Structure 1
Amino acid sequence: MSRELKLGLNAGYWGSDPPADGTDRVLEAERLGIDSVWSAEAYGSDAFTPLAWWGSQTSRIRLGTAIAQISARTPAATAMAALTMDRLSEGRFVLGLGASGPQVVEGWYGAEFAKPLARTREFVEIVRRVIAREAPVSFEGEHYRLPLQGGTGLAKPLKSILKPQRPDLPIFIAAEGPRNIAQTAEIADGWIAMLYAPSFDWYYRERLAEGFARDGARGSDETFEVACTIPVALGDDVERAIDELRPFYALYFGGMGAKGKGRNFHADVARRMGYERQIDEIQELFLAGRKAEAAAALPAQLVDDMSLVGPKDRIRDRLDQWRETRVDTLLALADAPTLRVLADLF
């Protein structure tokens, strides 16, 4: 059964400078009636500030972080940012969280990466308690404790001064591994997916169903939203469009993490799809500094499965395939002209 498919814009994170067309793209997305705009962070620009800037210039479009890294802020600081964003935007904010990877968590934040699922579960619980503002917040977990025990001895549970726009502000979680996806379905309001392929939709439905079936699961298949980031390359020549996206996938599969299973979570997605031999080769090439060769080694079918490439009519047909998946919202990595074409197709 086909789903209603919404269109969003993933503005990503900045490089060495803010993108020259960043605000123009968001304003165009608002004008076109696109559902949402999302910002990200790595180890440069943060995820919240661009949304606040764009939110001040828009009135309708949803504003989401895809993703805010849980090691970048304490749960209380993250909840404060979410409360503030939701009040400023009058209920348009979606808090998207993610554990990131060991290179960023340990190298940039100087924090432990171990047990990301347990840390995420505790983090989300504290954030929910702060935002709900039902009582002063106390929490005793393995990774987070409020208030601090010891110290000056003056700590006490506190309740947010700011009242929430929505006590049930939606929290989405970025996840790629099977256990992480199942936990996301259990504790979150939505899943920020990436490297998703319609041909592998059955696998993700099974992982989500596992989470929905757990005791105390927050939502269900009817209430849960899947928002999926998708690169887009328009062009009459399909092969050339695929080539445009090869460096993007080479970076994620080959360069984000160390060599080997479990060392690069993005690469493990493609391995689960049956591309283990090719991914091993891509990692070898990329980590040896041979990035162009790594990109060239990417199977065209893999790039095509996870993207929207080619002329407008072909993308229209591909969108029909996406409507058969569990995805609710496609978050396009696209410029303003491409957004206009996509908005017409949607």
Structure 2
Amino acid sequence: MKLGLQLGYWGARPPEGVAALLTAAEECGFDSAFTAESWGSDALTPLAWWGSDTSRLRLGTSVAQLSARTPTAAAMAALTMDHLTGGRFILGLGVSGPQVVEGWYGQPFAKPLARTREYVQVIRDVLAREAPVAQDGPHYTLPFAGEGATGLGKPLKPITHPLRADVPIWLGAEGPKNVAQTAEIADGWLAIYYSPRLAPMYDEWLDEGFARPGARRSREDFEIAATCQITVTDDPGAVRDGVRPTVALYVGGMGAPELNFHAQVYRRMGYGEAVDEVTDLFRAGRKDEAAAAVPDEMIDETMIIGDAQHVRREVARWEAAGVTTMLVTCRDAAQVRSIAEVVL
């Protein structure tokens, strides 16, 4: 089992102590570190800034949002980061949700699977640098030929030669069709709210993708990186209480009531009634009550909280379910060391 440090996205202000976290992660044998974006800080700038002090960690985005930049801009960022890191970059991508895509980026959310497929193909074409890049898809057209086009655009190849033509592309995916496509076209799956109990269901989705003609990977060389809060503690109840507000936010407040991908994940786990209650309370502005309504079982389904023996046992269960990397959030260097000591 590999460990990845999930640095996430910023809140109201940039976090403090990140350099110490990364130093501890490298010293303790972590494999990777990731940054994210929502609608505040971006994923790439902090990764480049903080990553400049690392020498061994793989550095990735978990996730960079498709609508935040064109596919060629994402390819340029991947090309640049891969050179700057000496071949340690992982491009993690995700579609986000309609509230962000349409509300923040002002772009249509429709047909996210088709958009993802085209987006990834353009990036692969840029990094391959075998020919000028052209794309005649319904979502991305290169050269641009729509209303207002001058007709002067032409296909181009990147000026800078990529360090690697096969920079790993991992996709954030939650639903069955998205996970299957991820297994088909990507190098890894960034799984949020993963439950090892549902591994047989995930395996069906993944196997469908691996079996498609032209699939890029097989199960043997495909990576599954699952976000999982790991806390080594003798007081699991207090830790659960600390994470309830975050679970309530994602289940009850992230996305529209009609379309919340995180809520759908927990519904598949069998927590439909709890999801409904949390959502109703959160949407009514009763956020403390929404957090209190998150049952312990929902937390334990997707997080590992307990003493060292419990953590080792659960990590082994996640590994047996197919997870290759646990992406963990740590508040300080001491927590990095405690997790590494138990897991690694």
Common fold: TM-score over 0.5: yes
What is the match of residue 313 of structure 1? Answer: 309
Provide runs of 4+ in structure 1 moved above 4 Å: none
Distance in structure 2 (CA, Å) of the matches to 1:194 and 1:307: 11
Identity of aligned pairs, percent?
56
Match of 1:225 among 209, 223, 232: 223
What is the match of residue 295 of structure 1? Answer: 291
Correspondence 1:160 to 2:196: no
3-state DSSP of counterpart to 1:164: coil
Question: Which residue type is aligned with residue 130 of structure 1?
Answer: V
Q: Verify the 8 A CA contact 2:7 2:35 in the aligned structure 1.
A: yes
What is the match of residue 252 of structure 1? Answer: 250
What is the match of residue 175 of structure 2? Answer: 177
Question: Which residue type is aligned with residue 283 of structure 1?
Answer: T
Distance in structure 1 (CA, Å) of the matches to 2:300 and 2:313: 13
Question: Which residue type is aligned with residue 71 of structure 2?
Answer: P
Equivalent residues in 2 for 1:235-274, closer than 5 Å: 235-260=233-258, 263-274=259-270
Match of 1:339 among 314, 336, 340: 336
Give the Å deviation of 1:245. Answer: 1.4
Match of 1:20 among 5, 16, 24: 16
Distance in structure 1 (CA, Å) of the matches to 2:300 and 2:244: 10
1:275-334 superposed Cα distances (whole Å, 9 cap, x missing partner) = 111111110001111111111111211201200112222212211211211110000012
Distance in structure 2 (CA, Å) of the matches to 1:15 and 1:27: 22
Match of 2:33 among 27, 31, 37: 37
Give the Å deviation of 1:53. Answer: 1.0
Correspondence 1:126 to 2:122: yes
Distance in structure 1 (CA, Å) of the matches to 2:205 and 2:64: 23
1:35-86 superposed Cα distances (whole Å, 9 cap, x missing partner) = 0000000011110011111221111100000000000000000000000000
Q: Verify the 8 A CA contact 1:312 1:341 in the aligned structure 2.
A: no
Give the Å deviation of 1:270. Answer: 0.6
Question: Which residue type is aligned with residue 60 of structure 1?
Answer: R
Equivalent residues in 2 for 1:23-172, closer than 5 Å: 23-149=19-145, 151-172=149-170
Q: Verify the 8 A CA contact 2:129 2:158 in the aligned structure 1.
A: yes
What is the match of residue 232 of structure 2? Answer: 234
Let me know the Cα RMSD of the aligned residues: 1.0
Give the Å deviation of 1:233. Answer: 3.2
1:13-50 superposed Cα distances (whole Å, 9 cap, x missing partner) = 01111101122211211121210000000011110011
How many residues are aligned here?
Answer: 340
Question: Which residue type is aligned with residue 114 of structure 1?
Answer: A
Distance in structure 1 (CA, Å) of the matches to 2:254 and 2:230: 21
The gaps in structure 2 that reach 5 residues or longer are none
Give the Å deviation of 1:221. Answer: 0.5
Give the Å deviation of 1:235. Answer: 2.3
What is the match of residue 187 of structure 1? Answer: 185
Give the Å deviation of 1:200. Answer: 1.2
1:158-191 superposed Cα distances (whole Å, 9 cap, x missing partner) = 0000111111111000000111000100100000
3-state DSSP of counterpart to 1:97: strand
3-state DSSP of counterpart to 2:189: strand
Q: Verify the 8 A CA contact 2:231 2:339 in the aligned structure 1.
A: no
Distance in structure 1 (CA, Å) of the matches to 2:64 and 2:340: 27
Give the Å deviation of 1:134. Answer: 0.7
TM-score scaled to structure 1, two decimals?
0.96
Question: Which residue type is aligned with residue 43 of structure 2?
Answer: A
3-state DSSP of counterpart to 1:309: strand
Distance in structure 2 (CA, Å) of the matches to 1:225 and 1:317: 21
Question: Which residue type is aligned with residue 337 of structure 1?
Answer: A
TM-score scaled to structure 2, two decimals?
0.97
Equivalent residues in 2 for 1:269-288, closer than 5 Å: 269-288=265-284
